[in-house]
Structure 1
Amino acid sequence: MLAGGGLAIAIFAGQIGVQVSNNLSVYLANAGQIPADAPNLARVGRDVVTGLLSWLGLPLLLLVVAALAGSILQAKPVLTTEKIKPKFSKISLTKGFGRLFSSQSVMEFTKGLLKLAIVATVVILVVWPDRDRLDTLMTYAPADMLDYVKVAALKMFGGAIAIMGLIAAADFLYQRSEFLKKQRMSRQEIKDEHKQTDGDPQVKARIQRIRMERARGRMMAAVPEATLVIANPTHFAVALKYEHQEMNAPVCVAKGVDEVALRIRSVAEENGVPVVENPPLARALHASVELEQEITPEHYQAVAEVIGYVMGLRK
Structure 2
Amino acid sequence: MAEETGQEKTEEPTAKRLRDAREKGDVPRSKELTTTFLLFAAVAAAFIFGSQVVNAMVGLMRFNLSLDKATIADPSQMIIHFVSSMIDGFLSLWGLFALLVAAAVIGPIALGGWNFSGQALQPKGSRINPLSGIKRMFSLNALTELLKGMAKFLLVGAVAVGVLLWDRPEIASLAKQSVNQAMAHAVDIIIWSFLLMSAAMILIALVDVPFQIYSYTKKLKMTLQEVKDEMKNTEGKPEVKGRIRQMQREISRRRMMKEVPEADVVITNPTHYSVAIRYDQSRGNAPIVVSKGADFLALKIREIAEEHEVPILASPALARALYHATEEGQEVPLGLYKSVAQVLAYVYQLRRYRQRLDEKPEPLSEEDIEIPEALRVDPDE
- Give, in whole Å, the separation in 2 of the partners of 1:190 and 1:44: 69
Structure 2 CA distance for partners of 1:198 and 1:81, relative to 1, 3 Å: closer
Shift of 1:11: 0.5
Contact 1:5 1:63 in 2 (8 A): yes
Give the number of the structure whose alpha-carbon radius of gyration is greater. 1
- Give, in whole Å, the separation in 2 of the partners of 1:33 and 1:125: 52
Identify which of 94, 101, 112 aligns with 1:75: 112
Residue identity in the other structure for 2:129: S
CA deviations over 1:35-66 (Å, ceiling 9, x no partner): 24533433333233222211222201111101
Identify which of 3, 7, 11 aligns with 2:48: 11
TM-score relative to the length of structure 2: 0.46
Contact 1:10 1:154 in 2 (8 A): yes
- Give, in whole Å, the separation in 2 of the partners of 1:168 and 1:69: 15
**Following superposition of structure 1 onto structure 2, how do residues 1-315 of structure 1 map, counting pairs within 5 Å?**
1-30=38-67, 34-88=71-125, 90-134=127-171, 137=174, 140-190=177-227
| Structure with greater helix share of residues | 1
CA deviations over 1:187-217 (Å, ceiling 9, x no partner): 4544655676789xxxxxxxxxxxxxxxxxx
Shift of 1:136: 5.6
Contact 2:163 2:193 in 1 (8 A): yes
- Give, in whole Å, the separation in 2 of the partners of 1:39 and 1:92: 54
Shift of 1:69: 1.2
Shift of 1:135: 5.2
- Give, in whole Å, the separation in 2 of the partners of 1:109 and 1:55: 38
The secondary structure found in structure 1 opposite 2:214 is: helix
Task: Note the residue ranges of structure 2 that are not aligned, 5 or more in a row.
Answer: 1-37, 237-332, 335-381
Structure 2 CA distance for partners of 1:58 and 1:198, relative to 1, 3 Å: closer
The secondary structure found in structure 1 opposite 2:110 is: helix
Structure 2 CA distance for partners of 1:27 and 1:192, relative to 1, 3 Å: closer
Structure 2 CA distance for partners of 1:50 and 1:193, relative to 1, 3 Å: closer
Task: Note the residue ranges of structure 1 that are not aligned, 5 or more in a row.
Answer: 200-295, 298-315
Contact 1:2 1:161 in 2 (8 A): yes
Percent identity over the alignment? 26
Contact 2:41 2:103 in 1 (8 A): yes
Residue identity in the other structure for 2:190: A
Q: How many corresponding residue pairs?
A: 202
